[in-house]
Amino acid sequence: IAKNNNIIINNTFSASTGANSVVTIGSNNNTLENNTYVLGKSDGRIIQFGGTTAINNVFIRDTFSDGTSGTVSDTGFNFGASTTGNRCIECIFAQNLTSQVQFNSNNANLTFLNSTFNSSRVAGSAAQSRHIVQWYLTVNVTDTSFNAISGATVTFRNNTNGLQNTVSTNPTGLTNATNITQYIRNSSTFNYQTPITVNASRPGYDSNGTTVNLTTQMITLILLPTGYPPNITNVTVNKTSANPLE
């Protein structure tokens, strides 16, 4: 793929003997959705990022398969160019790929959102390369009788109390699926953001929260008790007459 701004949907791509990669991307702002990529040779690569740059390419619900025995050089994504802003959303990587991702270039990064892959098979420690792993987290906010609470404010904070996101519940008491970061790997260093602290609040209810150790997509429940009535200050009235009506 040498030109920018392509949309490629519902295809099957395969590489046979003699092909180094199934697809080579040396361009920007491409969308590849609902495609299947089959690596049909040993020592091959499914997606090769090459050329000068490969920026802001997104893969949506794509499947990356290895039809070989999984030799030492079989690779899912291979970064050989300066790449930023590339994303895999709800993608599936074959478990027998020896390297799910191989970073061979500086300034290469990739975000996995709600994708199935083997994090122990990310190889390469090129300087300034990184990948980010995120999952969908949905929150269900109800009262203690499990009645939905609409309009509750829900906040997500990482393990250093940094705010990741703020959302509101809909009439069914649910938030939209929110992208929450599990960890950021810079070169070979993991920076975990979990556990995530989730707090919910709404006027008329007591606030409540929970912690989530996010390793896959999740739905979590938060119950909000009805708020206690406000304190009433006693008022003393000095009587100046025996007649209580005066």
Q: 236 pLDDT exceeds 50?
A: no
Residue in 189, 187, 192 with CA at minimum distance from that of residue 162: 192
pLDDT tens track for 156-193: 999 988 899 999 999 999 999 999 999 998 877 889 99
Q: 33 pLDDT exceeds 90?
A: yes
CA distances to 46, 155, 181 from 162, in Å = 36, 10, 12
pLDDT at 235: 47
CA distances to 151, 152, 182, 211 from 148, in Å = 10, 10, 28, 20
pTM reported for the whole predicted model: 0.84
Q: 232 pLDDT exceeds 60?
A: no
Mean pLDDT of all residues in 101-114? 81
